[in-house]
Structure 1
Amino acid sequence: MTTGRKKEDLDRLTLLGSQGTAYTFTYDPGVLETFDNKHPYRDYFVKFNCPEFTSLCPMTGQPDFGTMYISYIPDVKMVESKSLKLYLFSFRNHGDFHEDCVNIIMNDLIGLLAPRYIEVWGKFTPRGGISIDPYCNYGKPDTKYGRMAEQRLLQHDLYPEKVDNR
C-alpha cells in the first residue's frame, strides 16, 4: 500500500489549483486529465453528478439541460474532477442529441481511462413535454466487468424513480 500522491502525478495535473482556468465553449476531450489510481488492487466505484450539463439541440440550436451521472470502477488511471468539469462544460455549445452526448462522454472516458467498468446516464429536463434519459455502460470484455455491464443494462430502470422535481 502507498500513502500520499506521487509528485510526478501532481506535476501532470495542470488544471487542479489553477487560478487562471480557461473555459472552452466547444467540445474538447483534450482538456481531460488523469492521475494514477492508488488502489488498483481493489474494486470501487467513483461517481460524478453534473446537475448543470448543457448541450444544444442539433436541429433547433436550443439549449438542452440535464444532469449527467458518471460512475466507473477505475483500473490504473482515474479522471481528475476539475478537468472532467471543464470537459462537460465544453458541451455547452455542442450540437448533438441526448443519446449521442451520453455515448460520446462514455467513449471519451473509456479511451482515456480504460476503466474496468463505466456507466453514463443523462437525465434531461423535459422539452415539449418529454424527458429523455439515455443510459449506456461498458465493462471490460471477457471479465466479470463485462458480465456486470450486461446484467446492469438488462436490469437498468426496472424500477424507475418517481417523478422528481424536473
Structure 2
Amino acid sequence: MRERENMTHLGSQGTTYESDYNPGLLESFENRYPDRDYFVKFNCPEFTSLCPITGQPDFANIVIAYVPDRRMVESKSLKLYLFSYRNHGDFHEDCVNRIMDDLIALMSPRYIEVWGRFMPRGGISIDPYCNYGKPGTEWEQVAKKRLTEHDMHPDAVDNR
C-alpha cells in the first residue's frame, strides 16, 4: 500500500469544500514510475467560475493531461482545488492558465496541457488551451508542436 505522505484530503471524513480560489488545496505524491513516460488525464466536466465583470456563472469541461516527472497530483485535492474556483471571478483564459501554472508549481511535470471547453454565454463559447514542456527536454518541442496542431481539426458544431 502506498504511503499517504503529506496527503490530508484523501480518506478524510470531514471534507470541506472551499468556494474561493485556493491553490493551497493541491497535494502531490511521489511518482512510482519516474523512468517511464506516460500520460495522466483528468476530465473535469463540472468546473464553475464567475465572470470577473458581470459575476455571472461560467461552466466548463476542463481537461488536464500531463506527463509526470517525480511528483503527481492527488486527484481528490485536484477536485477540491477546481471546486475552489466556484466563487472566483476570472476570464476563461486566465482560469486555464492559472490551473496550469499551479500544477506546474506543485509537480514540475515533464509536460502538461489544460483545455477549457466553456459553455456559451451570449452565443459564444470560448475554448482556451495552454501547454508547457519542461525547458531543455524533448517535451519542450512536444509542447510547441501540440500547440500549433492543437485545433487543426475542430469539433463539429455542438450544443454544449
Give the TM-score, by structure 2 length. Answer: 0.98
CA gap 1:144/1:11 in 2 versus in 1, 3 angstroms: closer
| Alignment partners' CA distance in 2, 1:154 and 1:25 | 35
1:80 paired residue number: 74
Aligned positions of 1:17-96 closer than 5 A: 17-96=11-90
| Alignment partners' CA distance in 2, 1:11 and 1:160 | 42
Q: Unpaired segments of 5 or more residues in structure 2?
A: none
Report how many residues are paired: 160
Q: Unpaired segments of 5 or more residues in structure 1?
A: none
| Alignment partners' CA distance in 2, 1:13 and 1:165 | 39
Quote how far apart the aligned CAs of 1:11 are. 4.0
**1:12 aligned counterpart, secondary structure:** coil
| Alignment partners' CA distance in 1, 2:117 and 2:73 | 22
CA gap 1:147/1:11 in 2 versus in 1, 3 angstroms: closer
Q: 2:110 aligns with which of 113, 116, 120?
A: 116
Runs of 4+ more than 6 Å apart: none
Quote how far apart the aligned CAs of 1:163 are. 2.5
| Alignment partners' CA distance in 2, 1:164 and 1:51 | 16
Quote how far apart the aligned CAs of 1:25 are. 1.1
| Alignment partners' CA distance in 2, 1:141 and 1:12 | 28
| Alignment partners' CA distance in 2, 1:47 and 1:11 | 22
Quote how far apart the aligned CAs of 1:165 are. 3.6
| Alignment partners' CA distance in 2, 1:165 and 1:39 | 40
| Alignment partners' CA distance in 1, 2:5 and 2:139 | 32
Give the TM-score, by structure 1 length. Answer: 0.94
1:30-60 C-alpha deviation (Å, 9 max, x unpaired): 0100000000000000000110000000010
Quote how far apart the aligned CAs of 1:12 are. 1.5
| Alignment partners' CA distance in 2, 1:101 and 1:11 | 29
**1:148 aligned counterpart, secondary structure:** helix
Is residue 9–residue 77 contact of structure 2 (8 Å, CA) maintained in 1? yes
